[in-house]
Structure 1
Amino acid sequence: MDEAFSVFLEEFGNTIERREVPVSSIQRYRGTLPDQLLEYWSEHGWCGYGDGIFWMVNPQEYNGIVASWLEGTALETIDNYHVIARSAFGDLYLWGEKTGASLKITSVLSRYRVHNSIYVGDKMNKGVKAFMASKRVDTNDYGDLFKPARQKLGQLGPDEMYGFTPAIMLGGPDNLDHLAKVKIVEHLMLLSQISELKPFALSDF
């Protein structure tokens, strides 16, 4: 195990719901995603970390969601993006084939943030290591709701997230009483159709 992944594991701790990555998936993304990421897949699989607050995922399962959210936005013409990780609350980490770890979507708010990664071109493998080492537990939480949500609703499966019902973008409150364990692909697709994806504004911080 390399140092970057060791730093990541030290931050997040235990794994849950590990799924072996089939050879067909490795082959599908060979040349599209960095070799370093594919090595992590082979060694560690797709699974949840930190009791399920952060997940490494199969990008293929999120293709429809990416297409739905980016349709009609400027992002659609910038790069081809693939979801490589997500949080318990549906934050999506997208890898651009040309721009690397350059896009994060906060799905519950229908907002995105672009990051100009220095790890592009032949530095993509270093970019994967930097991505893993930079992840933090607290930035994958939403309003410190993860622990109480897990206690109330139970541990997430690989196809689940904690979602607000009704959705925040429909005027629903963002508190524990309105959290539910939902199927992530279906819920994210719904969120992508509720509200136009917009960039975070400085006033959001």
Structure 2
Amino acid sequence: MRDPHFEYFIEKFGEATYSMPVSEATLAQWTGKLPPILMTYWREEGWAGYANGRVWTVNPDEYEDIKDAWLEGTPLVNIDNFHVIARSAFGNLYLCGEKMGRSVTTSCLNNEILALKNKLKPKPLHDQDSSIQSFFGSRKPEDFDYPDANGKLLFERAIKKYGPLEPDEMYGFEPALVVGGSATLDNLRRLKLDPHHHILRQFDSPTLPFSNIDFDKFMK
């Protein structure tokens, strides 16, 4: 029987439109580092894409270089070991810390790293399950969409014009928003996720919302 939070997620997003099984060796590798409920999801669901690729659960190992590039030079690297556990069609990466659970998001299109102060708190591993359950259970499909310059969501139009994403692809803008591009359907492209993240990271340092957070307390 599925965890009720994930069952509610499936009610809203539908069954996976892509799935790859996760080996027992990989589950063993991450057990004790990431919340137990996430291991349950991986074992039962695999790494999967939902709602025709709006959101994907992913192998953290395949995203370590991207995650390291985006967190480099930020206080986050000193307070926890973060790993990517999911991503959106538009390149948002959803990070889970070994100490803090699901707590940080990178938005490459907006050149931002997002976190809530009340989420950046160490907690025992089993107590982190709620951060994973909340991430899936509270989301709606439009949460993983992206608005154009007029506020109209792009995902359905992007699929119709450019086709569905492969597991290693995302929708991104050319020219990029960070260098003055416009968020329009005509500027949207299907792009390889890994190189596009690295290209965007080179344009500028991401903005951070935690200027008022005392990160020194996490080092004690």
Q: How does 1:67-106 map to 2 (within 5 A)?
A: 67-106=68-107
CA distance in 1: counterparts of 2:189 and 2:3, whole angstroms? 36
CA distance in 1: counterparts of 2:92 and 2:55, whole angstroms? 9
Cα offset, 1:2, TM superposition: 1.6
Cα offset, 1:70, TM superposition: 0.8
Q: Which has the larger radius of gyration?
A: 2
Runs of 5+ consecutive residues of structure 1 not aligned to the other structure: none
Q: Please tell me the root mean square deviation across aligned C-alpha atoms, in Å.
A: 1.6
User: Is contact 2:20–2:48 with CA below 8 Å preserved after alignment?
Assistant: yes
User: Is contact 1:69–1:193 with CA below 8 Å preserved after alignment?
Assistant: no
- Aligned-partner residue type, residue 87 of structure 2: R
CA distance in 2: counterparts of 1:97 and 1:18, whole angstroms? 25
Cα offset, 1:190, TM superposition: 1.4
Cα offset, 1:127, TM superposition: 2.5
Percent identity, aligned pairs only, is: 40
1:161 and 2:170 correspond: yes
Q: For residue 140 of structure 1, what is the aligned residue in structure 2?
A: 144
CA distance in 2: counterparts of 1:130 and 1:109, whole angstroms? 24
Query: Match of 1:191, SS?
Result: helix
Query: Match of 2:146, SS?
Result: coil
Cα offset, 1:200, TM superposition: 4.8
CA distance in 2: counterparts of 1:167 and 1:60, whole angstroms? 26
1:184 and 2:185 correspond: no
- Aligned-partner residue type, residue 206 of structure 2: L
User: Is contact 1:65–1:192 with CA below 8 Å preserved after alignment?
Assistant: no
CA distance in 1: counterparts of 2:73 and 2:87, whole angstroms? 23
Q: For residue 128 of structure 1, what is the aligned residue in structure 2?
A: 132
Q: For residue 217 of structure 2, what is the aligned residue in structure 1?
A: none
Q: For residue 11 of structure 2, what is the aligned residue in structure 1?
A: 10
Cα offset, 1:197, TM superposition: 1.3
Runs of 5+ consecutive residues of structure 2 not aligned to the other structure: 148-152, 211-220
CA distance in 1: counterparts of 2:84 and 2:24, whole angstroms? 19
Q: TM-score, normalised by structure 2?
A: 0.87
The size of the alignment, in residue pairs, is 201
CA distance in 2: counterparts of 1:191 and 1:22, whole angstroms? 32
Query: Match of 2:17, SS?
Result: strand
